[in-house]
Amino acid sequence: MSTEERDVLIVGAGFAGLYQLNEMRKRGHNVHAVESAAGLGGVWYWNCYPGARVDTWGPMYQFSDPELWRDWNFSELYPDWSEVRAYFQHVDNKLNLSKDISYNTRITAARFDEDSRRWVVTAESSETDEIREISTRYLLMCTGFGSKPYVPEIPGLESFAGIAHHTARWPQEGVDLTGKRIAVIGTGASGVQVAQESAPVAGQVTVFQRTPMIALPMCQRQISEEENAKEKATYADRMAKRNTTFAGFDFDFLDKGVPDVSTEERDAEFERMWEIGGFVPWLGNFNDIFFNEDSNRAFYDFWRDKTRQRINNKELWEDLAPTDPPHPFGVKRPSLEQRYYEIYNQDNVDLVNLRENPIDHVTAKGIVTSDGVEHAFDIIALATGFDAVTGGITAVDIRNGQGQSVADSWADGAHTALGAATAGFPNLLFVYGPQSPSGFCNGPTAAEAQGDWIVGFVDHLLTSDVTRIEPTGEAEQTWQQKIDAVCELALFDRAASWYMAANIPGKKVQMLMWPAGLPAYLEEVNTSAANGYPEFVKA
């Protein structure tokens, strides 16, 4: 087994990992990245299921470097996975990042050696079965929030004779859906996309729904070359604006709450947001939408009435757009849809309400529900989500000098300082990880905004005589208190969402994100940098 020596080892080659790689390289550090997939893109390598596409305007779903966006154009406002992949290829062509990435290589374990103050990392190649050791001063986990798929325990699933895949492990070569009988389990963003993409071509689509998705119209459209060229003039300002908004977009919440306006003005604002579509009715809504139950309910009622107009069969209204909300709007991430509600007007699309009629087991032929009916299928799409945010980190056997693992340390909940490091694990940093803006933030924005702070921190350490840093328990408690203070006022705990770690049986329920918005986060970390990183013990 060979051992290579690095200053910085990056795990993951999505937006966060690639940004770190490029910036560390620019500063002359000995850096390398390891990626389990065969190509770059992170989630955009794995999520190639039918209909997978971005839920952010393409122009704002890019790195901010003009050298990268100047000659890159997406053809649709919300690009699909293949265009995002092509974008990553474009970035690689410009920056030649791949020369410093080991693809098809999974980090399985990392052990901190207190004597050398270095991580000893085990990397396994899925191509050659070679196992190599990498010694690194700093280990950067850039594993994203959706890198560990979750498949619920459904009795008999392994006996299914057809094709069954989790959406994030969809075959790279695709699956022909034409004329097939397709089951879609789950109605998160992935399930909605698979269902609406399958319905026009499949023989039969049956959606197995536990909780109705409060999906928002995507308002997708093509972007012509002329429009792209014209829009480029606005990119620099809009990209700069991303760091100043709650969720890293080029728009933000209104500077007023629902109680501040008349009913007429409220409804006019709702209509205006609805026309723009996308996440504007979510993260560009009234500023009390996550905090005031009445305001939240007002928008839910607006959404319900709009949505019901699209579903011809009134018997489905209570399942798809219930009278009362399944949970407050937006505290579970909304999906963007293109024709999702109209598919239920097709003869070949059915809905099974799992609250009334749960899945009992799977057979070789299909899915048996508790009413005894066997639904026969050719394909089962498991759109059942992820062990989000922490799962990609705890999947690696990361152990400190005392032999304790991160997974054990977080058994009763993830704990971090500044959403970037965890006490007991020196020289280990997370980008886009637990208690950072993460799932509440546009990915490329977070990769750069939090990423810049981490680059600065690691650069500061590597150019000083410090060789070991670790956050204090006190700094973690302070961070937790700040998160709790927002959550106590908000409606987030009213849904069993992946934001709250409530989607995985047995996982400790906690707010996994920094819920106070990107500007407040940047103020915290930049203050830390200005004060010499007082949250950390340095040696």
- Read off the tokens for 367: 């899915």
* Closer to ligand N01 by Cβ: residue 457 or 499: 499
Min dist CB 289 to ligand N01, Å, is: 17
* Closer to ligand N01 by Cβ: residue 81 or 457: 81
What is the dihedral sign for C-alpha 81, 21, 100, 63?
A: positive
* Closer to ligand N01 by Cβ: residue 188 or 471: 188
Q: Cβ atoms within 10 A of the Cβ of 305, count?
A: 10
* Closer to ligand N01 by Cβ: residue 338 or 405: 338
| Residue whose pair of structure tokens reads 């069954």 in the numeric block | 164
Q: Give, as one character, the DSSP assignment of residue 489.
A: H
Min dist CB 513 to ligand N01, Å, is: 11
- One-character DSSP codes across 69-131: HTT---SBSS-BHHHHHHHHHHHHHHH-GGGGEE-SEEEEEEEEETTTTEEEEEEEETTT--E
User: Under the rule (CB under 6 A), what is the footprint of ligand N01?
Assistant: 53-55, 146, 152, 167, 185-191, 193, 210-211, 333, 354, 383-386, 496, 498, 503
Residue 359 — φ and ψ, nearest 5°? -70, 130
* Closer to ligand N01 by Cβ: residue 193 or 436: 193
Min dist CB 536 to ligand N01, Å, is: 30
Residue 428 — φ and ψ, nearest 5°? -115, 125
* Closer to ligand N01 by Cβ: residue 167 or 405: 167
Min dist CB 509 to ligand N01, Å, is: 13
Min dist CB 192 to ligand N01, Å, is: 7
Residue 409 — φ and ψ, nearest 5°? -60, -30
* Closer to ligand N01 by Cβ: residue 307 or 503: 503
Min dist CB 497 to ligand N01, Å, is: 8
* Closer to ligand N01 by Cβ: residue 77 or 189: 189
Min dist CB 166 to ligand N01, Å, is: 9
Min dist CB 503 to ligand N01, Å, is: 5
Q: Give, as one character, the DSSP assignment of residue 149.
A: B
Q: Give, as one character, the DSSP assignment of residue 211.
A: S
Residue 513 — φ and ψ, nearest 5°? -110, 160
* Closer to ligand N01 by Cβ: residue 300 or 498: 498
Rounded-to-integer distance, Cα 154 and Cα 286, Å? 41
Residue whose C-alpha is closest to residue 452's, from 137, 27, 36: 27
Question: Under a CB-based contact definition with an 8 Å cutoff, are residues 440 and 517 in contact?
Answer: yes
Instruction: Report the residue number whose CB is nearest to ligand N01.
Output: 188
Rounded-to-integer distance, Cα 296 and Cα 331, Å? 10
* Closer to ligand N01 by Cβ: residue 333 or 415: 333
Min dist CB 51 to ligand N01, Å, is: 9
Rounded-to-integer distance, Cα 166 and Cα 51, Å? 14
Rounded-to-integer distance, Cα 52 and Cα 59, Å? 18
β partners of residue 350: 206
Min dist CB 382 to ligand N01, Å, is: 8
Min dist CB 235 to ligand N01, Å, is: 21
- Read off the tokens for 227: 């429009």
Residue whose C-alpha is closest to residue 448's, from 7, 15, 14, 8: 15
* Closer to ligand N01 by Cβ: residue 125 or 220: 220
Sequence letter at residue 263: T
What is the dihedral sign for C-alpha 435, 439, 441, 442?
A: positive
* Closer to ligand N01 by Cβ: residue 21 or 331: 331
Min dist CB 255 to ligand N01, Å, is: 26
Residue 330's region, left for phi above 0, alpha for psi from -120 to 50, else beta, is left
* Closer to ligand N01 by Cβ: residue 384 or 445: 384
Rounded-to-integer distance, Cα 16 and Cα 443, Å? 8
Strands 105-113, 118-125: pairing kind: antiparallel
Rounded-to-integer distance, Cα 314 and Cα 284, Å? 31
Min dist CB 325 to ligand N01, Å, is: 13
Rounded-to-integer distance, Cα 294 and Cα 328, Å? 10
* Closer to ligand N01 by Cβ: residue 156 or 456: 156
| Residue whose pair of structure tokens reads 């390598």 in the numeric block | 45
Question: Under a CB-based contact definition with an 8 Å cutoff, are residues 115 and 97 in contact?
Answer: no
Min dist CB 118 to ligand N01, Å, is: 34
Question: Under a CB-based contact definition with an 8 Å cutoff, are residues 502 and 413 in contact?
Answer: no
